[in-house]
Amino acid sequence: MTAPPHQPRSIWSRFVHLFPAGEFLSYLVVGVFNTLFGYATYVLFFTLFSAVISANHPSLLAPLAAIVSTPLNITVAYFGYKIFVFKTRGNYLAEWLKCFGVYGVGMLPGLIALSGLTRLLQAFLLHHQDRLDYLTYIVASHLSGRPHAFVTHIAQASTLAGYLAGALVQGFTVIASFFGHKKFTFAPKSPAVS
């Protein structure tokens, strides 16, 4: 009996094959948490910097918020991956430093993309400022106090562009970092050759 001829797999099936079943689900859960946590800290620092510095320069504030929030986000992500996804033992400092290395390699392109993407989104949103103002008016008319102030703050084209760009870059970082962590940060040690 002969084996069936090899059939090429689709790009999607090759991509899914990279994630073992249990690891994939754990990674999704931890990745969603890391994404929400990372984006929340980014928003927190972006909001603080825009209040202290000036919201008129989101292409500068967005990378600054990302740089300041990154060490905390990487540390939280490291523990989530170590405990729930890759389930490694020991090597805390070495793996933590490798985790910074994986994110550090992706950080520079992410920061460059963040600045350019913020400018692109800002231009797009400024082009649709009338619609944005109308939507803001509808939402803000039902709010008062801090919620009203927050909606009014984020609905400015320059500010909203920074928030949206941060969300997009964060999503791409989560997917790309999995492979770095799997192959480098939490890779099993190869047996010593004697």
In-domain check, residue 191:
no
Domain of residue 167 covers: 20-185
In-domain check, residue 49:
yes
Q: How confident is the model over 123-140, as pLDDT tens digits?
A: 999 999 899 889 988 998
Total domain count, the chain: 1
In-domain check, residue 120:
yes
Which contacts qualify for 110-114: CB closer than 8 Å, 24 or more apart?
110/66, 110/169, 110/172, 110/173, 111/63, 111/66, 111/67, 113/169, 114/62, 114/63, 114/66, 114/165, 114/166, 114/169
In-domain check, residue 69:
yes
Per-residue pLDDT at 80 exceeds 90: yes
Confidence of residue 2 (pLDDT cuts 50, 70, 90): low
In-domain check, residue 124:
yes
Q: How confident is the model over 35-65, as pLDDT tens digits?
A: 899 989 999 998 898 888 876 777 788 888 9
In-domain check, residue 70:
yes
Q: Name the average pLDDT for the chain.
A: 83
Q: What is the pTM of this model?
A: 0.62
Tokens 């994986």 found at: 102
Tokens 């999503």 found at: 171
